[in-house]
Chains A and B, each alone.
Chain A
Amino acid sequence: MLEIFGTIGGNALGLPGLLGVALGMMTRHIWLAALMGGLVGIVETFLFAGWQFANLEMLELVVAIVVGVLAGCVGCVIRLKGASV
């Protein structure tokens, strides 16, 4: 359980969380925001795995994608609520 919490926290304060929100704030289409967040999650996990499938951990990949998707959606909601353009 701690392992999962730690992975979620690391991703929320890492690229998927921060860049996911930032990218989400750039669009009013929630599906696009979620897609961009998810992509950041995939890229980040591969980046830390040295671009090698063998080093990839499925739990980390799944958590990074989920956190990225959620962060993207949060960013999009901020855009919808906080901007008129």
Chain B
Amino acid sequence: MADRPDNRGMIRRFWDWFWGPTAVLSVGFTLIAGFLAGIFFWGGFHWSVELTNTEEFCVSCHTMETNLGEYRETIHYNNHSGVRAICSDCHVPHEWSHKIKAKIMAVKDVYHEMVGTINTPEKYEEHRLQMASAVWRKMKASDSRECRNCHNFDYMDFTLQEVRAASEHQRAIDSDMTCIDCHQGIAHRLPPSYLEEYEKVLEALSMTPSSRRLAAADHEATQFYLRSRSE
């Protein structure tokens, strides 16, 4: 029988080759090669994701300069212990699925960098409350999950804390509060009327009135205390 010319297109030939049985490879060879390729691609993917967690990557956008300047004046940047929390420590979850979700949602940051939503100090201030509110909402909803990667009530020795701090932390445990209920503005400047906005965040998350009240109780005094300690 004479060979007929192969009239299939390139894509069709590739498709048929891809789904055709291997004629020259053993099962073992295919499995080992697939396993090694899997490690290579997964490792490469994971490594690339981790690169986007570096401080250099986060502040490579012009619009991040304001946040960076504010963060560099805080205890999370410079402190007596030499432990530093960088952007991703507070803003990127450790758990895989939450991390991928955060990375996909961060696409909006690239968009706003490109369209220049906050590319001047005036525009930044205009959007500060909105941006802060989005982060507070995320932190409140996750019970300050990213804070708790380093800070944990179970590991705190209240006897080593100042009296005011120990009493506030005990109140937080008793009232089922979370870190962000008091520690807003810990790494970035607080916008005006932030407390009213935080109330709205609690309302949007359908917090019960009692827990809202507890979260807001003595809030201004706590903020004053926290600010005076950091100065």
Contact = CB atoms under 8 A, between A and B. Distances in A.
A9 B100 contact: yes
Contacts of A6: 100-105
Size range of the chain B interface in the assembly: 10 to 19
Interface in B83-113: 95-105, 107-108
Given A6-B102, A7-B101, A9-B101, A14 B96 contact: yes
Main secondary structure of the interface of B (DSSP, over half): helix
B21 A84 contact: yes
B225 to A, nearest CB: 31
B29 interface: no
B19 interface: yes
Interface of B: 19, 21, 95-105, 107-108
18 contacts: A2-B108, A3-B105, A5-B104, A6-B102, A6-B103, A6-B104, A9-B103, A10-B96, A10-B97, A10-B99, A10-B100, A10-B101, A10-B104, A13-B96, A14-B97, A48-B95, A48-B97, A48-B98
Given A10-B100, A48-B98, 11 more contacts: A2-B104, A2-B108, A5-B105, A6-B104, A6-B105, A10-B101, A14-B96, A44-B97, A48-B95, A81-B19, A84-B21
Interface of A: 2-3, 5-7, 9-11, 13-15, 44, 48, 81-82, 84
